[in-house]
Amino acid sequence: MGEFKHLVIVKFKEDVDVEGILKGLENLVSEVDAVKSFEWGQDVESLDVLRQGFTHAFLMTFNKKEDFTAFQSHPKHLEFSATFSAALDKIVLLDFPALLVKAPA
């Protein structure tokens, strides 16, 4: 079995300090060894009708599902989850084993 991915797509509440949340996420993933890599981005191209209000995407990669499971119960994750959840207007979560179709060049 290959890598395991944790994809989070969100719309933040209007009055949220998004920069603070992003810094908190960066701190979280740097402190939890189970996270292999972390990427995030803010949508700048999608049509509003397709975006459905979502603005940011976050992708964490783990070596295996067991690492993701360890991350979910990690005290730092549990602590930050409350802050993160309170900042959200909408969220979509997808957790899945990755199937590599084309490797990076």
- Token pair, residue 90, equals 């909408």
Burial pattern 33-53, b for ≥16 Cβ within 10 A else e, equals ebbbebeeeeeeeeeeeeeee
Decide if 59 contacts 38 (C-beta within 8 A). yes
Q: Which residue has the tokens 């976050």?
A: 58
**Residue ranges of the chain with per-residue pLDDT less than 70:** 1
pLDDT of res. 1: 62
What pTM value is reported for the model?
0.91
| Residue-range domains of the chain with CATH | 4-96 (3.30.70.100)
pLDDT of res. 27: 95
